A and B are shown apart, each in its own frame.
Chain A
């Protein structure tokens, strides 16, 4: 039962271009969405989050878009840099105010930035 789906196992983008990572979810109770980046042999690192009351959140080169009606979110990275090469996980939480609930993760998308 995949409540959070990242359908692209990998994505290759040229340096300087825009990277767009997609995520779909099925559980309408999810209210918070987060993106994590993971390098090999390291734990996931928090990148950016968005609440369901917003449709966009921006932090530097990273922007997350949420389309609640389509149950779809995306992470845009502009411009893409070599250090962005990593696995990106989409995650969701169903508790509007609580961090005590666990996150539900997607399987991840391996982003490869080519020079």
Chain B
């Protein structure tokens, strides 16, 4: 069964540093997303991406955050000037269709720890 692959599974970074979280969505999917889950809290939407541009972003996705699809297969989330409160599990997701009826396929997540 096709999977969304995320690397690394765990990333530790010092506060103020930049991190790049990587995702390989399912190959025929057209819509890509990043979500995060702070420990003990709900899964929160960060950003959606379609046709090489951001479709929608939440308030969490401030100007320290950026996304890119550099080579047609990878989908990356970059966080500059990381803060302690960025520590969370970051999930990448992709979907083939525009309708949410079919749900998204999520990756296993990258646990980001900012120290």
Using CB atoms and an 8 Å cutoff, list the residues of chain A in contact with chain B.
32, 34, 36, 41-47, 49, 51, 89, 91, 93, 95, 97-108
**Which one of B31, B35, B97, B105 lies within 8 Å of A46 (CB-CB)?**
B105
Give chain B's interface residue range (CB within 8 Å of chain A).
Answer: 20 to 34
How far does the alpha carbon of A23 sit from the alpha carbon of B11 in the complex, in Å?
Answer: 33
The secondary-structure label for the interface of chain B is: strand
**Which one of A34, A42, A91, A106 lies within 8 Å of B108 (CB-CB)?**
A42
Give the 8 A-B CB pairs with smallest separation, nearest first: A102-B45, A46-B103, A43-B106, A100-B55, A105-B43, A107-B42, A93-B100, A32-B100
Q: Assuming A89-B43, A95-B100, is B91 touching A43 (CB within 8 A)?
A: yes
Chain A residue contacts of B104, Cβ below 8 A: 46, 99, 103
How far does the alpha carbon of A98 sit from the alpha carbon of B33 in the complex, in Å?
Answer: 13
B1-17 vs A, Cβ < 8 Å mask (1 yes, 0 no): 00010100000000000
Chain B residue contacts of A46, Cβ below 8 A: 102-105
